[in-house]
Amino acid sequence: MIGRHPGGLEMTARLLALPGIRPPARILELGAGEGKTAVYLQALGFEVRAVDLKPSGPQVEQGDMRGLDFAGESFDCCLAECTVSGCGDGNAALKEAFRVLKKDGCLLIADVFFRKQEAPSLSMGKPLTWNCWKEAFEQAGFWIEETKDETEAWKEFFLESLWNGNAEKNCMDFFIEAGKAGCGYFLACLRKGGENGFI
Ligand SMILES: C[S@@+](CC[C@H](N)C(=O)[O-])C[C@H]1O[C@@H](n2cnc3c(N)ncnc32)[C@H](O)[C@@H]1O
């Protein structure tokens, strides 16, 4: 089993720092897996709900980020670490995050992108370059408030997985494909509304 997302909880802290979001904000974690990030967020004092298609921890509820069972405008923040690109339909997931966010709420996303045009599409319908992400964010209605390139953390994650021997074969295949397509890793804070927003 491969480790968690690149950079671990330190990367989560860097993501939270982008908008300077503070407890007791209400956060929805999308694709929470075993729930380590959700536990971390709760310990910081945030009010947290966490969903995953296949939950593997007690803090995580079964839920599909492409069609969420939450009312509109019910969260201050959605958090998606390494999940939108592989959720089956990333565009639907972005629209759902937009729907459940309060006005002025933000989606914090950490994910992969590729520098070459012959890149994998994963769940985004076309080669997953930074331009593809930008278009998808804007089509969902978001204003891109801040982005950060964390490709070095991805490189470390890749090397660490090799060194520790904890990458499964399908992950190794992805790493090989990703390396050929010039894989990078980004953090972004996407705002619903606000002065320059779309609502
Ligand atoms: C690479 S893991 C990342 C897990 C966690 N966010 C982390 O950073 O450790 C991707 C997670 O997304 C979940 N997932 C995939 N498609 C999903 C969907 N449509 N809705 C909810 N969760 C999904 C998977 O089950 C998996 O737990």
Ligand 1, atom 15, residue with closest C-alpha: 87
Give residue 196 CA to ligand 1 midpoint distance, Å. Answer: 31
Give pLDDT tens digits for 74-116: 999 999 999 999 999 999 999 999 999 999 999 999 999 999 9
Q: What is the pLDDT of residues 67-79, one digit of tens each?
A: 999 999 999 999 9
Q: How far apart are the C-alpha atoms of 78 and 99, rounded to whole Å? A: 11
Distant-in-sequence, close-in-space partners of 155: CB < 8 Å, separation ≥ 6: none
54 lines ligand 1 (CB under 6 A): yes
- pTM comes to 0.94
Cα of 149 from ligand 1 centre, angstroms: 21
For the domain spanning 8-188, the CATH number is: 3.40.50.150
